[in-house]
Each structure stands twice: as C-alpha cells, then as structure tokens.
C-alpha cells in the first residue's frame, strides 16, 4: 500500500510539471461568462491507447449566474444532464440555471458538514489538516458518486453531462478523478486535471482569499482552502485503500460498477 501511495505522489509531481499542456489548451475551457472552472474532460489519453471523447462530460463550478448566451452554448453542446454535488443550503442560495431540456439531479451526500468546517476556520493557522480531513472521509462516497455513474451509464450517446459543486474543485475534483481513473486515464494525468483547477480559478481564488481574510480568517488558511494540492486528492486515495484494499474493490463494492459497466463506460466515453 505504501508503494502505491508513493507512486501516486510521484505521479502528482509529474502532473505539476506537465500541467501547462492542458492549462493552456483553450479547447478544454468552455467560454461561459457566468461560471468558473467550466471545462471539457475530453482529450485525455488512456492506458489502452484511446482518448476520452470530447464534448461528452464537463466539470464546473456553480452555474447559478449563467447568461442567456451561456445557456444557449450549453444547449448547443447538448448538455442534457446536470449533476449538482452541493448541499440543500448551497442550492437554496444559488440555484442552477439549466440549459433547455436538461435533467437535474442533486447528490448532496457529504456536503451537509461544510458549515461545521466554516465555524473552526478563524481558529486555524493552516487549512491543510482540515482539507485532508474532508478528503479522507469515505462514508458518503457511495451515496454521492454511485448515482453519478448511473447517470453516465444511461446517458444517450447523443447527449452530454455536466457535473459541478460550488467551486468545482473538491467534490467535483474527486468525481472527475474517479471518472478518469475508471476510463483508464493514467494517475499522473488524473492529478494534472485535478491541479489545473488552480489555474482556471486563479482570479476567483484571489477574490475568495480576500473575502475570507475580511472574515478574520488567516491568509494562509484562506489560500489552503481556495486551492487544490496533491496531498488533498491523495488523502482520498489513501482512505479508499485503507478501507477497501484497492481502488478497483471500491469501484466494485461501493460504486456498484461491474466489469461490464466499466467496459460500457469506456465504450461510451473513449475512442
């Protein structure tokens, strides 16, 4: 297990070095005015020599401020499924704007505890331990991500799916990592996609840090919470390995994906 975790960490470093390739890829960024970190998960190579299909699965931050032009763009991209990982409270404050004809599914499991985290922030000198604690929790993963993959399995080949949370970095980042891993994308590329959030959210992160500092939260804590780091996603991997023994066992036992399901996902979303 320790060897696996070390290799994952090494992969994350390689991902940092290679991340500029996808960060500067303007074909990945969806040019909406009313959302941040909205990007296509297509184009990534897999271990089987295929690539993730473009225009099928998108990840984003919250979409409550999409403009009419944004909604038309999403409709043109045939986004017919929107999966929202936010809590009821988050949704109430910023309800999604959906493209015409899109189905909406909210998967809030694990998001209810975020307010508890906020209460302790002014007391902290670093946010890393809090983020690692959040990423290390596995109790909600089945309830949150199993229905997500069921949506992907049943989605018509002519349609596309968008999944998001508030910032599009943590809950969405875990979802993207699981999706890409199941498609056979190498670990270093999965980490590269995860870390690319720091570039896509660069301006928004600075605004977020200033806002938290005004709330008497230390700047270092604010920066730890605003960004993503390799050790955060690795904390999820370590927790899964500790509880289930392997990622594949987790995928089978908790996400309920059979070998046939995985084959179908790869057929639908790689080429």
Edge-to-edge strand ranges of the sheet holding 57-60? 39-40, 57-60, 160-164, 79-84, 103-106
Give percent of the chain with pLDDT exceeding 70.
Answer: 88
Read off the pLDDT band of 25 (50, 70, 90): low
pLDDT over 80 (residue 20): no
CB atoms < 10 A from the CB of 96, how many?
Answer: 17
What is the pLDDT at residue 119?
A: 74
pLDDT over 70 (residue 167): yes
Supply the CATH number for residue 36's domain. Answer: 3.90.190
Indicate whether 171 belongs to any domain: yes
The domain tally of the chain equals 1
Indicate whether 218 belongs to any domain: no
Instruction: Say if CB 104 and CB 82 are below 8 A apart.
Output: yes
What is the pLDDT at residue 3?
A: 46
Indicate whether 157 belongs to any domain: yes
Which tokens in the block code for residue 188? Answer: 């270093």
Which tokens in the block code for residue 152? Answer: 């992907």
| Average pLDDT of the chain, as a whole number | 91
Indicate whether 120 belongs to any domain: no
CB atoms < 10 A from the CB of 207, how many?
Answer: 12
Residue whose token pair is 């987790």: 250
Burial (Cβ within 10 Å: 0-12, 13-18, ≥19) of residue 5: middle
What is the pLDDT at residue 26?
A: 65
Q: How far apart are the first and last CA of the chain?
A: 32
Indicate whether 148 belongs to any domain: yes
Indicate whether 143 belongs to any domain: yes
Rounded CA-CA distance 49/124 in Å is 46
81-99 confidence digits (pLDDT tens): 999 999 999 999 999 999 9
Q: For the residues 253-263, what does the mean pLDDT come to?
A: 98
Enclosing domain of residue 34: 2-113+138-199+247-269
97-122 confidence digits (pLDDT tens): 999 999 999 999 987 666 666 778 99
Indicate whether 180 belongs to any domain: yes
């Amino acid at each position: 297990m320790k060897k696996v975790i070390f290799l994952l960490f090494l992969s994350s470093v390689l991902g940092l070095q290679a991340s500029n390739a996808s960060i500067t890829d303007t074909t990945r960024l969806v040019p909406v005015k009313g959302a941040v970190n909205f990007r296509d998960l297509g184009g990534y190579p897999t271990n089987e020599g295929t690539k993730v299909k473009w225009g099928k699965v998108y990840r984003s931050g919250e979409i409550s401020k999409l403009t009419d032009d944004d909604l038309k763009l999403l409709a043109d991209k045939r986004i017919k499924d929107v999966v929202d990982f936010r809590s009821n409270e988050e949704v109430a404050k910023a309800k999604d704007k959906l493209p015409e004809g899109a189905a909406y599914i909210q998967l809030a499991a694990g998001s209810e505890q975020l307010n508890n985290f906020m209460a302790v922030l002014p007391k902290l000198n670093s946010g890393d331990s809090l983020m690692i604690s959040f990423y290390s929790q596995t109790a909600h993963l089945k309830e949150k991500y199993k229905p997500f993959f069921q949506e992907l399995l049943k989605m018509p080949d002519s349609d596309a799916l968008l999944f998001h949370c508030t910032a599009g970095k943590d809950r969405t980042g875990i979802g993207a990592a699981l999706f890409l891993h199941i498609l056979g994308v190498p670990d270093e590329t999965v980490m590269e996609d995860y870390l690319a959030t720091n570039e896509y959210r660069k301006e928004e992160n600075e605004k977020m840090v200033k806002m938290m500092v005004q709330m008497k939260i230390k700047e270092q804590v604010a920066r730890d919470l605003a960004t993503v780091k390799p050790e955060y996603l690795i904390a999820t991997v370590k927790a899964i390995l500790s509880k289930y023994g392997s990622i594949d066992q987790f995928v089978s036992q908790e996400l309920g994906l059979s070998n046939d399901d995985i084959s179908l996902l790869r057929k639908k979303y790689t080429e």
